[in-house]
Amino acid sequence: MSAEPLSNTNPPPARGNSLRGRVIRDGDTPASTANIANIITVARILLAPVFIWLLLLDNGQMGIIRYVAAALFIVAIVTDAVDGYLARDRNLVTDVGIILDPIADKILTGGALVALSILAELPWAITIIIVAREFGITIFRFAVLSKVVVPASRGGKLKTIVQAVAISLFLVPLSSVLGQWVEWVNWAVMAIAVLLTVYTGLEYLWQAWRQNRKINPGA
């Protein structure tokens, strides 16, 4: 769920793409593809359809099923930070993890947005803008991954956090407990999320264009 400025350095060599290797412990030897960080990422992917099914099952009734669905989404979002921390802290970064992590994020957030739009709780225009940007930039990142490293920028990280908070606020029916004023907060945070989504997407494309000009001056 991130995108943003490019680096002109070559990507690191592939490592840890075998089931043999380190699973949890830190070290400099190759990490297993089935390491703890990747396992958490896969669990997040598997959790997404369960969360979406529960959200649609509640059908906007704001009952206990809605709270369970919201809780699953929040837990899944938190695991994004957990698997990233484990991968970096224990040197468990693998090519498989690099590919699966953004896919897991997009499935989770995209699924939540689409489900909210199906339930008529979020305009389809917002869902289309965010989903198109996220999947479009992710596909582009993979397309240029063999040429440049695509690190996440501060803006991209902030966008990811705000998106997660905005979706969580829409999922948890706080207005039924705290009052209708909460809905104003929900829409304000979602508006910020949309603005950051569009801005960071344009920023990424601008940085990609500049980087391409440096690598291919005559292009």
pLDDT of the chain, 219 residues: tens digit per residue? 444 444 444 444 444 346 677 777 777 777 788 788 888 888 889 999 999 999 999 988 888 999 999 999 999 988 888 887 788 877 877 777 777 888 888 899 999 999 999 999 999 999 999 999 988 887 877 776 556 555 556 777 888 889 999 999 999 987 777 777 888 999 999 999 999 999 988 888 877 777 666 666 655
Q: Fill in the DSSP letter of residue 20.
A: S
Which residues, including other chains, have CB under 8 Å from residue 18's CB and lie 6 or more apart? 30, 32, 33
Alpha-carbon gap, residue 141 to 133, rounded angstroms: 12
Check residue 16 and give its pLDDT.
Answer: 39
CA–CA gap between residue 37 and residue 175 (Å, rounded)? 36
Domain assignment of residue 43, yes or no: yes
Q: Per the structure, how many domains does the chain have?
A: 1
Residue 30 lies in a domain: no
Q: What pLDDT score was predicted for residue 153?
A: 64
AA identity, residue 13? P
- How would you classify residue 27: left for phi > 0, otherwise alpha for psi between -120 and 50, otherwise beta? left
In a domain, 18, yes or no: no
- pTM (predicted TM-score): 0.79
Token pair recorded at residue 185: 């907060």
pLDDT at 33: 81
Residue 13 lies in a domain: no
**What pLDDT sits at residue 6?**
45
Q: What one-character DSSP code corresponds to residue 10? A: P
Domain-embedded: residue 29:
no
Q: Is residue 201 part of a domain?
A: yes
Angle at the Cα of 198 from the Cα atoms of 193 and 202, rounded to 5 degrees:
145
132 CB contacts (<8 Å, ≥6 apart)?
none
Which pLDDT score, from 0 to 100, does residue 55 have?
A: 95
Residue 2 lies inside a defined structural domain of this protein: no
Q: Residue 163's domain spans which residues?
A: 36-214
- CA atoms within 13 A of residue 214's CA, in its CB half-sphere: 12
For the beta carbon of residue 110, count every other beta carbon within 10 angstroms: 19
35 close to 24: Cβ distance less than 8 angstroms: yes
Distance CA 166, CA 164 (A): 6
Report the pLDDT value the prediction gives residue 1, as an integer from 0 to 100. Answer: 46
Which tokens in the block code for residue 78? 């938190």
> For the domain that residue 101 is a member of, what is the CATH number?
1.20.120.1760
Q: State residue 144's pLDDT score.
A: 67
- Residue 175 tokens read as 């207005």
Cβ-proximal residues to 102 (8 Å cutoff; 6+ apart), any chain: 1, 2, 138, 141
Whether 132 is covered by a domain: the verdict is yes
